[in-house]
Structure 1
């Protein structure tokens, strides 16, 4: 038996994928990158068969939905907090799932004790910042992506972000002003991330502003990378739940940081 025949029969024939940079223009990607991590973190799947994705946090304070069947479609994250009331984020359907996961992963983890800064991750990647007309804006070095805090004359405000190539292809997203800042920071960190993201053949956007590298990947490799992310989520969830169940009621709750789960392609 030839080696190529054995690979085909065993399901281990390498498949062509592409590393895409900048990540902000890589297209939507596989929704399971977001949903499987949340399920592994103990979130409840509220999706209807054949319908849009809907998952709910264990404490029922946050819902993450993805609906590709309506226009314009995309992601909606809605939450409730004791101090800021309700908040929401709306992200276009072509928002790369790796960037969406920056926000949704952070929702599933304990909040850091450090004061958040939305602009810090952008400045670390040499984004250009400017202040004009009550708007504070950061733009990526290649000009394709932006993050803006907008304030209207009536006092209304929101976070507005997105990415577009020279042909106008891309996505936009906005967050209500009371969205917890550590979540917006987690999103901006992934938005500005310098690492390329992986897309299968046929799922790479047609844009003169992206750079691609062809790579051969076996199905088992893809499954291993996906499983590593899921395993990290389960381990972090188990550790948090175990600490809660074994902690004496008379002692104060210590802060237990959770390591950031991220699969690098």
Structure 2
């Protein structure tokens, strides 16, 4: 179901009347507007299957393989869950994200699900390029040491490594501080999705937040943004327009691939005769 003009207008009304503040680092920017995620999926053809009067939002992909659940009343620390059912050629996978994961970072993950990159990227590349400290044991930490990425090794329960990302308050000595948010990407999560999430997370450019928006931690740095409120709205609209065009192009390619050439159909018909 495509986005309606009313839904787009509601997003514009909220952000056009707010003074944007550049907020960094990203892992402390706070949740932001969840519609960065849901609008992107809806514009690519995902449909809501949840009760419209419920606080929970559930979206399903056009092929019904992928399912996104956003539950702000969850009794666990995971407010976002994304599942993929297995196919004849690909395994199923599962990813979850905590309440304070920035919506823009999660949106990058979802966008890569809609439009995969042309090549298989190295998930660690963007992290190290952004100045994060990458250890040889499959871990990395942000410059402020508050965000930690771990590629957990194989075990008797998992045949492939899984990704665990946590942002925590500063601890004392060897004891870590309270957890701010987490993300878990299981061992079958496609590499290009992991890379998209880590690239957006480590990006040094700030995220825009309103004056009274919740951040992930008091140490997040906020400065008046050079962007006008309307520019924030326009950037959202431009992203949705690009996603819509790319999703349509991808569907056309899939349809063309699935449709046998004319000569093949003729040969098949002759064989049946």
For the superposition of Structure 1 and Structure 2, which TM-score range results when normalised by the shorter chain? 0.7 to 0.9
When the two structures are aligned, how many residues end up with a matched partner? 238
Shift of 1:125: 1.2
Shift of 1:208: 4.3
- Is 1:125 the equivalent of 2:130? yes
> What is the TM-score when the length of structure 2 is the normalising length?
0.77
Q: Distance in 1 between matches of 2:78 and 2:14?
A: 34
Match of residue 26 from structure 2:
23
CA separation of 1:50 and 1:217: change in aligned 2, threshold 3 A = farther
Match of residue 54 from structure 1:
58
Name the structure with the higher helix share: 2
- Is 1:250 the equivalent of 2:261? yes
- Is 1:210 the equivalent of 2:212? no
Please tell me whether the aligned partners of residues 151 and 158 of structure 1 are also in contact (alpha carbons under 8 angstroms). Answer: yes
- Is 1:63 the equivalent of 2:67? yes
> What is the TM-score when the length of structure 1 is the normalising length?
0.79
Deviations 1:77-126 (A, max 9, x none): 101343442210011011001111121111111353x2332111111112
The worse-fitting range, judged by mean Cα deviation, of 212-221 and 33-42 is: 212-221
Residues 111-260 of structure 1: pairs in structure 2 closer than 5 A:
111-112=117-118, 114-132=119-137, 136-151=138-153, 154=156, 156=158, 157-166=161-170, 168=178, 170-205=180-215, 207-215=217-225, 220-244=230-254, 249-250=260-261
Shift of 1:212: 0.8
Q: Distance in 2 between matches of 1:188 and 1:181?
A: 11
Shift of 1:28: 0.8
SS in 2 for 1:172: strand
Please tell me whether the aligned partners of residues 31 and 214 of structure 2 are also in contact (alpha carbons under 8 angstroms). Answer: no
Please tell me whether the aligned partners of residues 16 and 217 of structure 1 are also in contact (alpha carbons under 8 angstroms). Answer: no
Shift of 1:246: 6.0
Over the aligned positions, Cα root-mean-square deviation in angstroms equals 2.7
Structure 1, unpaired ranges of 5+:
1-9, 252-265
CA separation of 1:207 and 1:73: change in aligned 2, threshold 3 A = closer
Q: Distance in 2 between matches of 1:242 and 1:11?
A: 35
CA separation of 1:242 and 1:204: change in aligned 2, threshold 3 A = same
Please tell me whether the aligned partners of residues 166 and 179 of structure 2 are also in contact (alpha carbons under 8 angstroms). Answer: no
Name the structure with the higher strand share: 1
Q: Distance in 1 between matches of 2:253 and 2:182?
A: 39
Q: Distance in 2 between matches of 1:217 and 1:31?
A: 20
